[in-house]
Chains A and B, each alone.
Chain A
């Protein structure tokens, strides 16, 4: 069954701690994306990767880091430098360089207190 998995669904952390969100896909897609969703603000792009071992900053990359060591995996680390980390995080994948649709994972809701 092909798709994108994100884990965990809910995550709670104390302020000052780094946390890594998992994203795995078995769609054989080259491109992967991380978005942040806040109420009333739509989806904002954090980082994206068109190919393994390469990634670019999106519109709100400050306080986040990513790696792309494998085609199937694109983990996102929310660092303690991110001033307002509580949000719903969505991972997506697509074929690169063409206007193909993006397939989204179920999301991780991160709460930092």
Chain B
């Protein structure tokens, strides 16, 4: 079945350093979403990418969708302690109507 792999599983950075998490799908995706889950909390939607090669920015966060629509990345510039949490990508392929397939998540720790 369709799989979405996400790496790394954990990342520890010093405050101010950059951070990147990568997401790869075994099949072509119609769109990809990114969610953030704070420790002890629930996932919260960040953004959706739909077009091949799409790049979107939210302040210090940059999201990319690959040209082949099989991979995506989230890059955080100059991390802050408020960035701590687990970041999930979630893909949807064109053959299913509602299901999202979630990656395993990348847990980010930021040392002040």
Contacts and interface: CB of A to CB of B under 8 A. Distances in A.
Interface residues of B, number: 25
Interface of A: 31, 33, 35, 40-45, 48, 50, 58-59, 90, 92, 94, 96-97, 99, 101-107
Interface of B: 1, 6, 9, 30-31, 33, 41-45, 48, 50, 88, 90, 92, 97-105
Contact of B98 (A35, A41, A90, A97): A97
Contacts, number: 56
Main secondary structure of the interface of B (DSSP, over half): loop
Interface centre among A44, A97, A107 (most CB of B within 10 A): A107
B30 to A, nearest CB: 7
A59 to B, nearest CB: 7
Contacts of A59: 1
A96 B97 contact: yes
Contact of B42 (A48, A94, A99, A106): A106
Given A90-B42, A104-B43, A106-B42, A42 B97 contact: no
19 contacts: A33-B98, A35-B102, A42-B6, A42-B102, A42-B103, A42-B105, A43-B88, A43-B102, A45-B100, A45-B101, A48-B98, A58-B99, A59-B1, A90-B42, A90-B43, A99-B50, A102-B33, A102-B45, A105-B42
